[in-house]
Structure 1
Amino acid sequence: MDKYFKGKRILVTGGCQGIGRGIALELWRQGSNVVVISNQRDNLENLKKEYPTIDVVCVDLADWDKTREAVDSLGVFEGLVNNAGVAITAPFFECSPESFDRTMAVNVKSILNISQIVAKKMVDNKIKGSIVNISSQASKSALKDHTAYCASKSAVDSLTRVMALELGPHGIRINTVNPTVIMTDLGRKVWFSDPSNAEAMLLKIPLGRFGEVHEVVNTVLFLLSDAASMITGVHLPVDGGYLAT
């Protein structure tokens, strides 16, 4: 897989913290020319200071026109990881139109927007590229207080299937990775602020633990690479068996 990524240009959204940062750094280690796009200016600047050869772009992915302009200016990519996302939690009766719209704009519409531009350039340049969308186990299993989030991730899975259907004839593969709770800094903060929440979730995971960032990273790189050359339209859980129960 190392040779596959060397010299390839790959765009990672939301790649300056958590899972996205892990993906961006591993691609960089394997020789890719990585571009990270996010709305988190401070984190982007820190990433750039640590890894000067990684290019960074700051834009709010919920802004359709500005995002489109920014991505179009970046040129051609062989790979894309749509990792950026938000999780605004609230009980069903308290889910507001503002939080629902923001969730759908970042988690779903930005994937459509960015993928349209990147995939069109792949087609125009006859590149048989790969796109990986980061979804969630929440696309297939309801989580309390996650009305907007679950809806958005289900939409990501459906969007991915249609992309796979329409882009397959051009040799472009599209898949999702659907993680369980992953032990990022945010994951630890959210799930261990109330130990009872963590315990309830762990009881549903046959392997009896939450996932680590590298376990998602390895799965994403596999799907991006030609090791997965016959895999498209798939939703691959990295969930310790959560969805098997």
Structure 2
Amino acid sequence: MQFTGKTVIITGAGKGIGRATAQLLAARGASVRAISRTKADLDSLGAGCTGIVADLSDPAAARRAMAEAGRADHLVNCAGTNVLESLIALSDAGYDTVMDINLRSALICAQDFARDRIAAGGGGVIVNVTSIAGHRGFADHVAYAASKAGLEGATRVMARELGPHGIRVAAIAPTVTMTELAAAAWSDPAKKDPMMARHPMGRFAEAEDVARAIALLLSDDAAMITGAVLPLDGGFLAV
């Protein structure tokens, strides 16, 4: 799966899954427009990646970043965050932080991308990164789970509305992926070990595992995949 001649916008490209995806697609020939909050992270991405600094929790900043990125062939919504709070402890600030980045920014970026694609005659792919947290209940993940389940619902609506324009939309739902964000939630062996035992593959995902699956969904090999959610979970949801 090569992406020579393709331009891909990737949000959350400075760290974790977004970073791995940006570097993989650039290595496969894509021109990557990498959006992240931290300039140093963007500067270290390497060849093929053009950095755009933006705080996507701000709707106006998200729209400015998309305008700076310009017209692209594909969009990958990787930007995400988590605030570990139970339902009882859920704060307004925690809820807003998670929803603003995980859900609203993805909708804004998808909207602007789709408008540009339609103006160009259609075509292209959107991949939204969600989570198995939208399918199973994990303690202290109430806002995060709601944001990811909401993005999966939005993915299906996008596929329905954008399909007539030749735009495919899919989501990928990784299991625990070994990023800085995941380490905060799963570093305690009392939580990590029982969770890992529920994975038939016997391990959590690496960011590169998710990046390769995103590349598949973006490619022409996935030409009939739209409106779908691909679990990248090592079998977790199957058992």
For the aligned pair, the TM-score class normalised by the smaller chain equals over 0.9
- CA distance in 2 between partners of 1:54 and 1:44 (Å): 8
Aligned-pair distance for 1:116? 0.7
Q: 2:230 aligns with which of 211, 233, 236?
A: 236
Alignment RMSD (CA, Å)? 1.3
Q: SS of the counterpart of 1:94? A: coil
User: Is 1:143 matched with 2:141?
Assistant: no
Q: SS of the counterpart of 2:60? A: helix
Match in the other structure for 1:165? 160
Aligned-pair distance for 1:189? 5.3
The residue correspondences of 1:116-131 to structure 2 (distance < 5 A) are 116-131=111-126
Structure 1: gaps (5+ residues): none
Q: SS of the counterpart of 2:126? A: strand
Q: 2:7 aligns with which of 5, 9, 12?
A: 9
The residue correspondences of 1:66-85 to structure 2 (distance < 5 A) are 66-85=61-80
TM-score (normalizing by structure 1): 0.94
Aligned-pair distance for 1:190? 4.0
Match in the other structure for 2:39? 41
- Which letter does structure 2 place at the counterpart of 1:229? A
Match in the other structure for 2:24? 26
TM-score (normalizing by structure 2): 0.96
User: Is 1:198 matched with 2:192?
Assistant: yes
Contact map agreement 1:78 1:127 (CA 8 A) in 2? no
Percent identity, aligned pairs only, is 40
Contact map agreement 2:39 2:51 (CA 8 A) in 1? no
Match in the other structure for 2:55? 60
User: Is 1:224 matched with 2:218?
Assistant: yes
- Which letter does structure 2 place at the counterpart of 1:220? I
- CA distance in 1 between partners of 2:218 and 2:120 (Å): 18
Contact map agreement 1:128 1:171 (CA 8 A) in 2? yes
- CA distance in 1 between partners of 2:99 and 2:86 (Å): 17
Match in the other structure for 1:215? 209
- Which letter does structure 1 place at the counterpart of 2:20? G
Aligned length: 239
- CA distance in 1 between partners of 2:140 and 2:109 (Å): 28
